[in-house]
Amino acid sequence: MNLRTLYLPHRLSEIFWREDESHPLVADIQRLLAKHGLYTATIHSIYDAVTRDAVSQFQEAEGLPPTGSVDPLTYCRLHPAALSQIETRQPTQRAKTSVARANILITKSSRTLTLFNGNSPIRQFPVAIGKPATPTPAGNYAIASKITNPGGVLGTRWMGLNYDAYGIHGTNRPWLIGKMVSNGCIRMHNHHAEDLFVLINLGCPVYIRD
């Protein structure tokens, strides 16, 4: 499998301009478009109609929606990337039955969820937890509900706690795993949430510690 590695000179959060807006990065965009043979006008720092049209042509050539706006994906596609080949591995077989004495320990300080069988740890996963304004509540709880494919911000699995509206779930923002970003719920990578889902039953104890 080919891996495309890209080292960007700017943060993606800086990539947004309105038409006729001036920004130093616009000149970089124009140079990149010129390398693709799509921009032949003077290099300047104004996101004008000519630049927007060239962006739209580039997006169409790349199979992207031709909006004419430089979104993060368009910006990444414009930049050259290093290609490397990695060996693909067969996915490990997912467990099909629950753990007999399953219990969960969520440690907020290390952003980890550990699954135990009795007193023996058997799996550990990185998680995202509540931000300082809406912290994940420490305490002793239990799994009260399990839902497959709830979708959206909940990802592919939901395991609700018997406390308020808190739960353990997947995510549609995997790059935030390991951070304090949620409204108090515990977020996991979707494939990790799917693994955990089949290993626990309703009533599984959940211990949340600082």
CATH number at residue 47: 1.10.101.10
Residues 106, 81 share a domain: no
Helices vs. strands in the chain: H and E counts, helices first: 4, 12
Report the run of H or E that residue 57 belongs to, with start and end.
helix 49-61
What integer is the mean pLDDT of 177-183?
A: 94
Among 26, 54, 85, where does a domain finish?
Answer: 85
Higher pLDDT, 13 or 125: 125
> Is there a catalytic annotation at residue 44?
no
Position 75 confidence tier, pLDDT thresholds 50, 70, 90: confident
The model's confidence at residue 96, banded by pLDDT at 50, 70 and 90, is low
Q: Which of 9-13, 60-64, 67-71, 157-161 has the highest mean pLDDT?
A: 157-161
Whether residues 72 and 152 fall in one domain: no
Q: Are residues 78 and 7 part of one domain?
A: yes
31 vs 90, more confident: 31
- Return the pLDDT at 178: 94
Q: How many distinct structural domains can be found in the chain? A: 2
CATH number of the domain that residue 173 is part of: 2.40.440.10
pTM for the model stands at: 0.57
Q: Is the pLDDT of residue 181 over 80?
A: yes
Looking at the structure, tell me whether residues 57 and 115 fall in a common domain: no
Q: How confident is the model at residue 60 (pLDDT cuts 50, 70, 90)?
A: confident
Q: Is residue 56 part of a domain?
A: yes
pLDDT at 184 over 80: yes
**Rounded Cα gap, residues 53 and 75, in angstroms:** 15
Q: How far apart are CA 144 and CA 142, in angstroms?
A: 6
The answer to whether residues 171 and 126 touch, using CB atoms and an 8 Å cutoff, is: no
Identify the domain containing residue 58 by its residue range: 2-85
Q: Which of 76, 185, 192, 204 is catalytic?
A: 185
Q: Give domain status of residue 132, yes or no.
A: yes
Is residue 138 one of the residues assigned to a domain? Answer: yes
Pair 113, 81 in one domain: no
Residues 134 and 189 in one domain: yes
Q: In this structure, are residues 168 and 196 in contact, taking their beta carbons and an 8 Å threshold?
A: yes
Could you confirm whether 79 is annotated as catalytic? no
Q: Taking 70 as the threshold, does the pLDDT of residue 36 lie above it? A: yes
pLDDT of residue 86 exceeding 60:
no
Which position among 10, 44, 169, 204 bears the catalytic label? 169
Residues 50 and 123 in one domain: no
Structural domain contains residue 139: yes
Least confidently predicted of 76-80, 139-143, 156-160: 76-80
Percent of the chain topping pLDDT 70: 84
Strands (E), the chain: 2-5, 82-85, 102-107, 112-117, 120-126, 129-130, 139-148, 157-161, 167-169, 180-182, 186-187, 205-209
Residue 97 covered by a domain: no
**109 and 26 in one domain?**
no
Question: What's the confidence (pLDDT) of residue 89?
Answer: 60
Residue 87: predicted pLDDT: 63
pLDDT of 113 strictly over 90: yes
